[in-house]
Amino acid sequence: MNDILFINSRVNGFLQLKNILQKEERKFVEVTPPFTALDELQKDSFALIIIDTESYPAKTNVLEQIKKQRPETQIILIANGKAPQPGRASLCDFVVDAECADGFEKTVEKALKIWQLMNENKALQSENIRYQQRLEELIEIRSRTTRQSEASFRLMFENNPMPMLIFDIKSRKIITANHSASLLYGYTFDEFISMKIDQLFVQPDEILCLIPQDYNEALIQQTKELTHQRKDGNLIEVEVLSHSLTFHGRQTCYIMIKEITAQKKTLDALTASEKKFRMLYKNLTQGVFNLTPDKKITMINKAARKIFHFPDDKRRFSLKDFADLKIYNTSGKRVKIEQFPPFVALEKGLPLTNHILKIRYLPRRSKWIVMDAIPIIEHNTVKEVFVYINDITPLKKAEKLLRSNEKKLRAILDALPDQLMLLTIDGTILEVKDGEFFNVEPHLILGKSFFELVAQPIAQRFYNMLRLTNRTGEIQTFEFQHQVKGKLKHFEARLSKSHENQILCLLRDISERKKYETDLQKSENRFRILLESTFQAIILIDIHGRINLVNSKTEQLFGYSRDELLLKPADTLLPFSLRGKDNILNQSRFRHLEDIRATKSVELTGMRKDGIEFPIEIQLTPVEMLDGPFVMGVISDLSEKKKLEARMRRIEKLEAIGQLAGGIAHDFNNVLAGIIGLAELSLRKIKSDSPVRENIKLIINKAENAADLVRKLLMFSRQQKISLQNINLNKVVLSNKKILQRYLGEDIHLIVTLEDDLHLIHGDPSAMDQILTNLCINARDAMPDGGELTIQTHNVTLKESEADIPPGNYVQLIVADSGIGMSDEIKAHIFEPFFTTKEVGEGTGLGLATVYGLVRHHGGYIQFDSEIGEGTVFRIYFPAVKPHSAVSPTEDSQETEMVRGGNETILLVDDQIDILTTSKDTLESYGYKVLISGSGVQAVDILTKYKDLIDLVISDVVMPDMDGIELRMLCQQIKPDIKFLLMSAFSPKLENEKDYLLKPFVGHQLARKVREILDSD
């Protein structure tokens, strides 16, 4: 910027003035002519414009334009010897005479000064305007910030977890409260703003500490602990932070509350705990003192004073006090003060624990202590050292005694044969007496696991028992087997807890003991088995005549329990009338056991617990046992024997009858065989239209009926073998109906109901006859005054088991009477042999027993129902024959089946001429060649002569010189492949035979059996 614009009308005018400007080093621009001044002003600004009067024509408005554009620019008008026109002079700031150089220089300096002042003033005005604008902006920002701050304060106030209240200082009325305050005190917001702050204080005067003395004076922020009262009346301890606050133009107090009830309680507890600690510290049996960095002791309790023999009245201690003590380590070397644990811990900052020291305070008196020195370090600097001392003098004495005892114990243990080990709970061996158990040296065992040294099952058992012992703390004992030096031995392991997770194990070789126990157990078992398995009651009687031992048979026989009989007099087993009397069980007899010898059996009367008397047989034998002499009594129940004796007498009679019946049956069947054979022979020779033919058929039928009666007689005497075949029970019932009606009499009405399509059963017809007859006779005897007897047959299918009857198809036979019925006692015995309710001599008791045996022999089942006065119903179930089953045909089918003959040669042997004649004729009628013989000897000769021709030998069983069984043996020696058929009227020898023919028989039966034998392999 140039300072001066010089408008000169002449190029070389005003040289003197220009020189002055140059001399003052003023920057100026000279323009000529005057009208170019405006252009120069456009390009640059000037502080001062100098113009002469000639350059300022009257008609030009250059000055006006300059003033307009640059009002602050100063204008000096140079009067060139002439006075300027008033109008022009008014536009100029200064008028200077061109000839007055001094005045010009001063005027220029003044004008420039004015211009400078004006510019500064203008700048100040501009700055002031900018300041006012910025101030207005700041005021707006502050207002906006204030509004935001107020909103933030309100948000912070309402959501602050600390209870907060604002109240008016003058009126003490609560202005606002946040939600946390409502939760703490129990008041709602509306209740708060209607209250005074005084209502929260238990002591209203305490509020003065929150209010300044001068209401206009600001309260410095302060914290007070006070007691407040909740709405529910409960008192709470609070910490109040308060300070003054202008709130909505009002002078208020702002308080923030923190509940410290729990804190106060904790503080009180802490204070009490500290008090207890100090009391504990003073009375602690363990010595405690501290050591500061300057080696001073500021705290030492009574126990420490006592241990170090410090006087009680001494108050100040230092490390030097310990230098006077004679302190030794465990090696017996004296400990210098520099080696004293508290000093080392203080110097090195390291904790020293479990240091055992010996303090000698008298020539022969000393103490052993264990010392711990724990430094307290802060910022890598030891602040102090806490030292803990325990007097272990008794422990050391005990340790010395323990070592002595340990030596003694070690000597004892070495002398014991048992193995000792110390194990961890996982089976690792820590210590072991010797290695004999493991077959290795002891030093090779330590540190190894049981799993490495013994078999897996034993190791696993040890592992389980070790953990059990450690968990329960109880002693565990178990036995196992282990091989030592090639021999399998029995061991007993006894485990007891030694230390935490350490178990002491004692192993004892019990092989010899186990052998003795096994032998003893075997002996005891043998004795027990013999004692309990015997059928006799056995008692052991002591010298006082009291029972010391009984077996289970004694309990069963007499009804007493073992406990009831033990130590009771032996004659307790006798009736009251015999007790105390002179008998074999009298107590006085046992006082002199040496006089007792093994006696013969003596029959007495015994009495059960329920008072029932029964016959017994007793034999006494003296025995010597480990605990003294005793007498063993063997008692037998004679009840069954007596009954059997009576039954045997009846059976002997029956056997005699049976033998008589068998002999009669044999002779009678031979007679019938001759009759039937001769009748059939006659029938074949008589013409078909002869009137005698029917009579001969009637003879054959009657003879067959007589043969059936003989079979029934043999069945009764149990000398008839059962022959199973397919039979229809309906036919059995119908064939016996007439004879049953005769047995029953006229006063018993017989009702027979038979199912039409009844299944077949596999059985013996004669056995069925006997079952039906015995049941009906039993029913007749149960209806002495008459009644009804019902016989029914049914097809029954059981889908599930009923009682003892398995599922399946059955033929049911029902025999029901309306008789007197049976009691429960009788029902329990009805199937027992020889059990009868009839008078002596009126019944054998074999009827229902025979029925039961025959039914079970046929694979059937029998059930019955009976009530006194309501009669009895017997239900018998026989397994039904399956359709198409391969069983022997029925008699009816056999009779109707065509019999095939043959051309083989048969040797017929019988001592009865009529049977030889009729049988020979019958066989020849079927095409066979028949040779006959009247004795066994003759038959042997014939077979020897014609052995290549004879295919079959038929022989009677009972013959005078040689029976059929012997003949068969001789024939088989002569011709091993000879076929043989036995026949007999009756013989017990046929019981084990498969192929035989019973007499009497008809012709087709003989022909069929012969064909069957010849066709068999």
Query: Which residue shows structure tokens 């230390």?
Result: 499
Residue 59 has a pLDDT of 47
Residue 671 has a pLDDT of 74
| Position 889 confidence tier, pLDDT thresholds 50, 70, 90 | very low
**Over 70: is that where the pLDDT of 210 sits?**
no
Q: How far apart are CA 791 and CA 875, in angstroms?
A: 10
Residue 884 has a pLDDT of 46
Q: How far apart are CA 978 and CA 974, in angstroms?
A: 9
Number of CB atoms found within 10 A of residue 576's CB: 9
Residue 877 has a pLDDT of 93
Determine which helix (DSSP H) or strand (DSSP E) holds 630, and give its type and residue range: strand 628-637
Using a pLDDT cut of 70, give the percent of the chain over it: 83
| Position 988 confidence tier, pLDDT thresholds 50, 70, 90 | low
Average pLDDT score over residue span 340-360: 88
Range 643-712 has CATH code 3.40.50.720: no
Sheet holding 28-31: strands in order across? Answer: 28-31, 2-7, 46-52, 74-79, 94-97
The closest alpha carbon to 669, from 934, 909, 998, belongs to 998
Residue 893 has a pLDDT of 42
Q: 510-514, 723-727, 791-795 — which one is most confidently predicted on average?
A: 791-795
Amino acid at 742: R
| Position 305 confidence tier, pLDDT thresholds 50, 70, 90 | confident
pTM equals: 0.31
Q: 322-331, 461-470, 892-901 — which one is most confidently predicted on average?
A: 461-470
Residues 6+ apart with CB under 8 A from 151: none
Where are the chain's structural domains?
A: 9-126, 160-259, 280-398, 416-504, 532-639, 643-712, 722-879, 905-1015
Range in 43-47, 132-136, 307-311, 986-990 the model is least confident about:
986-990
Range 9-126 has CATH code 3.40.50: yes
CA-to-CA dists, residue 937 to 144, 675, 1000, angstroms: 157, 27, 24
Query: Directed axis angle between helix 639-685 and helix 692-716, to 10°?
Result: 170
Q: Name the E strands within 343-475.
A: 352-362, 365-378, 381-391, 419-424, 429-432
| Position 711 confidence tier, pLDDT thresholds 50, 70, 90 | low
**Over 70: is that where the pLDDT of 57 sits?**
no
Residue 879 has a pLDDT of 94
**Over 80: is that where the pLDDT of 296 sits?**
yes
Model confidence pLDDT, tens digit, residues 62-94: 677 777 777 777 788 777 666 566 655 666 777
| Position 892 confidence tier, pLDDT thresholds 50, 70, 90 | very low
Residue 754 has a pLDDT of 92
Number of CB atoms found within 10 A of residue 631's CB: 23
Model confidence pLDDT, tens digit, residues 101-158: 777 778 888 888 888 888 888 888 888 888 878 877 777 777 777 677 667 777 777 8
| CATH fold for domain 416-504 | Beta-Lactamase (3.30.450)
Burial label for 110, CB within 10 Å (0-12, 13-18, 19+), is middle
Query: Directed axis angle between helix 964-974 and helix 936-946, to 10°?
Result: 20
Model confidence pLDDT, tens digit, residues 584-611: 787 777 776 666 666 678 888 899 989 8
Average pLDDT score over residue span 17-42: 72
| Position 365 confidence tier, pLDDT thresholds 50, 70, 90 | confident
Average pLDDT score over residue span 363-386: 87
Please report the DSSP string for 857-877 in residue order. Answer: HTT-EEEEEEETTTEEEEEEE
Q: What is the CA radius of gyration of the chain?
A: 72
Residue 713 has a pLDDT of 56
| CATH fold for domain 532-639 | Beta-Lactamase (3.30.450)
| CATH fold for domain 160-259 | Beta-Lactamase (3.30.450)
Mean residue pLDDT of the chain comes to: 80
- The reply to whether domains 643-712 and 905-1015 share a CATH topology is no
Q: Name the E strands within 520-627.
A: 537-541, 547-550, 602-607, 613-625
The CATH class that applies to domain 905-1015 reads alpha beta
Residue 890 has a pLDDT of 44
| Position 497 confidence tier, pLDDT thresholds 50, 70, 90 | confident
Range in 272-276, 494-498, 690-694, 785-789 the model is least confident about:
690-694
Model confidence pLDDT, tens digit, residues 974-983: 999 999 998 8
Model confidence pLDDT, tens digit, residues 548-566: 888 888 888 889 998 888 9
To which CATH superfamily is domain 280-398 assigned? PAS domain (3.30.450.20)
Residue 841 has a pLDDT of 44
Number of CB atoms found within 10 A of residue 895's CB: 13
Amino acid at 249: G
Residue 659 has a pLDDT of 62
Average pLDDT score over residue span 170-189: 89
Range in 140-144, 560-564, 923-927, 960-964 the model is least confident about:
140-144
Helix, strand or coil, per DSSP, at residue 244: strand
**Over 70: is that where the pLDDT of 897 sits?**
no
Q: How far apart are CA 228 and CA 198, in angstroms?
A: 10
Average pLDDT score over residue span 935-939: 90
CB 207 within 8 A of CB 197: yes
Average pLDDT score over residue span 648-676: 65
Model confidence pLDDT, tens digit, residues 828-860: 777 765 566 665 445 555 567 778 878 887 889
Residue ranges of alpha helices (H) inside 416-455 are: 450-453
CATH of 722-879, one of 3.40.50.970, 3.30.565.10, 3.30.70.360, 3.40.50.880: 3.30.565.10
